Amino acid sequence: MTIPNAEAAVLRLLDANLDRAREGLRVAEDWARFGLDRRDLVVGLKDLRQQLGQCHRDAYRQARHSASDGATGLAHPAQQGRVNPRQVVAANCARAQEALRVLEEFGRQPDPELAAVAERCRYRLYDLETQLLANQDRRQQLAQTRLYLISSPVPNLLAVLEQALGAGVRLVQHRAKGLDDLERYREALALRELCAAHGALFIVNDRVDLALAVEADGVHLGQGDLPVAQARRLLGPDRLIGRSTQGIAQLRQAQLEGCDYLGVGPIYATPTKPGREPVGLAYLEQAVAEAQVPFYAIGGLELSNLGPVLAAGSFGVAVVRAVMEAADPGAASRALLETLHG
C-alpha cells in the first residue's frame, strides 16, 4: 500500500469535505424549497453553499482521485433507517456540520480563509437546522392567512372577537394598553382559549413572558422590544415571532434575525400610532420585492382603502378599528376576507 504524502492528503481531504458539506446543504435546501415552501430558509442555505463554492480551489479538485479512495461508496446501515423527510434533513445537516468542522481543522494551515468561512457556515447552519426541524404547523397556517386582526380595548371585547372569529378570522394579536399584568394575563388567557376553539393563531404583542404564560402561538415585537434572538431562545423554535418594520433596512434585518412574519407600515396615518409618519405605498412596494416571509400591511387600513394596497401586491393586511370598532364585527370581517381572497 502506498501512503500518500501529507500535503496531497490534505488537498484531497479538503476537496472531499467541500463536496460533502455542499451536498448536505443542497439536500436541506431542497426540502426547505419543496417540502416547507420556506423561501427564507432556501436563501440562507443557498448562501452557505455559495460561500463554500467560492472557496473550492482548483488545486483541491485536481488532487481528487476517487479510484484510489478505499472508502468510496462505503455505506452504513443507519442510512436505511431514514424513513421520513425530517430524518433525512437531520442526517444531512449533521453531515454538513461534520464536514465543515473537518474543513476548519485541516484548512487552518493551508487555507485560513476556507477555515474561517467553514466556521461561520457551521454556526449559521446550527440556527438554520433548528428552523428546518421545527414543527411547521403554525407557519403553514400563517402562510394561508391574509387577514390579521389586532385587538383594541373596546367594550365587550370577547363578544367582538367571537363575531370576528365566527366570520373566519384566523389570526389575532392581543394588544392591551393600560392594564396591569394580572388583568393582561386574564384577558390574554380568555382570548387564547377563544382563538383555540376556532382554530385561530393567537399572538401576544410585545410580551414574551405573557405569550409563554398563556401558551400563545407567538409574539409580535416592535423595534424597541426584546431582541429577536433572545425572544427565540425563550420561545423555542416552534412558536411564531413577528416584527414591526417601517423601512427596508428594518425588514432586511428582521429577516436575517429569523422572524416568521413582518408588519409593514404604517401605510396611512392612524390614531393607533399617533405621531408616527405614514410610510405610504413606496415602502410596501419594496417589501413586496424583498420579503421572504408573510408580511402584513398595517396602518389606517379599512375596506375602502385596500385597493391600492392589494394592487401593490401585499401578502396580507392587518386591521384594528375596521373590525374592532365596526357596528357589526362579523360582517366587517367577512367583507375584508372576501376582498382579500376574492
* Residue 99: C-alpha distances to residues 24, 128, 135, 210 (Å): 9, 16, 26, 41
Is 273 an annotated catalytic residue?
yes
Q: Which residues contact 256 (CB under 8 A, 6 or more apart)?
A: none
Is 321 an annotated catalytic residue?
no
Q: Tell which CATH classification among 1.10.12, 1.10.10, 1.20.1260, 2.30.30 matches the domain 6-133.
A: 1.20.1260
Q: Which residues contact 320 (CB under 8 A, 6 or more apart)?
A: 149, 150, 151, 152, 175, 270, 272
| pLDDT for res 275 | 67
Q: Are 6-133 and 137-341 in the same CATH fold?
A: no
The Cα–Cα gap between 111 and 257 comes to 30
The domain locations on the chain are 6-133, 137-341
Q: Which entry of 175, 252, 321, 334 is annotated as an active-site residue?
A: 175
Is 175 an annotated catalytic residue?
yes
The Cα–Cα gap between 15 and 313 comes to 45
Span 165-200, pLDDT tens digits: 999 999 999 998 888 999 999 999 999 999 999 999
The Cα–Cα gap between 152 and 102 comes to 54
- pLDDT tier at 104 (50, 70, 90 boundaries)? very high
| pLDDT for res 37 | 87
- pLDDT tier at 269 (50, 70, 90 boundaries)? confident
Q: Tell the residue number behind the cell numbers 401586491, with chain if given.
A: 313
- pLDDT tier at 81 (50, 70, 90 boundaries)? low
Q: Tell the residue number behind the cell numbers 412596494, with chain if given.
A: 285
Span 33-75, pLDDT tens digits: 999 988 889 999 999 999 999 999 999 999 886 655 555 555 5
The Cα–Cα gap between 145 and 317 comes to 10
Higher pLDDT, 220 or 270: 220
Topology annotation, domain 137-341: TIM Barrel (3.20.20)
Higher pLDDT, 77 or 278: 278
The Cα–Cα gap between 122 and 128 comes to 10
* Residue 331: C-alpha distances to residues 144, 334, 335 (Å): 21, 5, 6
Q: Which entry of 26, 57, 124, 273 is annotated as an active-site residue?
A: 273
pTM of the model: 0.80
Q: Which entry of 22, 170, 244, 314 is annotated as an active-site residue?
A: 244
